[in-house]
Amino acid sequence: VQETEKTYGMIDISKLPAFPGGERELLIFLAKNIQYPPPARENNIQGVVVLSFVVSKNGSVQEVQIVKDIGGGCGKEAVRVVQTMPKWNPGEANGHPVKVRFTLPVRFRLN
């Protein structure tokens, strides 16, 4: 019998996972790396894509899923960028690193 490793929700842990450098650096990373999909630009699609992913015990980003998509390729682009993220600082429960499911809104806005 193989025991599966528990994935924690954000309320079950003592220390949240964190992007290296904090939330500001996360926003900078997203802004630098997201390329507005041409179909979204051509159709004036704007809004928020919501992603869900697991930050593993070693900080790697896994199991990236689209929770809410706005169309025009925005969801796929958000997933692509999140999959290229550097390792995060993992979440902790009882002083030990644990897998944590994280939800991230990604805003697409035309200038």
Q: How many structural domains is the chain composed of?
A: 1
> pLDDT for 22-49, tens place per residue?
999 999 999 999 999 999 999 999 999 9
Residue 30 lies in a domain: yes
Instruction: Look at residue 5 and tell me whether its pLDDT is greater than 90.
Output: no
Residue 25 lies in a domain: yes
Residue 61 lies in a domain: yes
pLDDT band at 8 (very low <50, low <70, confident <90, very high): confident
Residue 74 lies in a domain: yes
Mean pLDDT of the chain: 93
This prediction's pTM: 0.87
User: What residues make up the domain containing 80?
Assistant: 7-108
Distances (CA, A) of 5 to 2, 56, 100, 101, 106: 10, 11, 11, 13, 28
pLDDT band at 87 (very low <50, low <70, confident <90, very high): very high
- pLDDT attached to residue 14: 84
Please give the residue that has the higher pLDDT: either 68 or 14: 68
CATH number at residue 97: 3.30.2420
Instruction: Look at residue 3 and tell me whether its pLDDT is greater than 60.
Output: no
Distances (CA, A) of 76 to 33, 51, 82, 107: 13, 10, 10, 13
Residue 1 lies in a domain: no
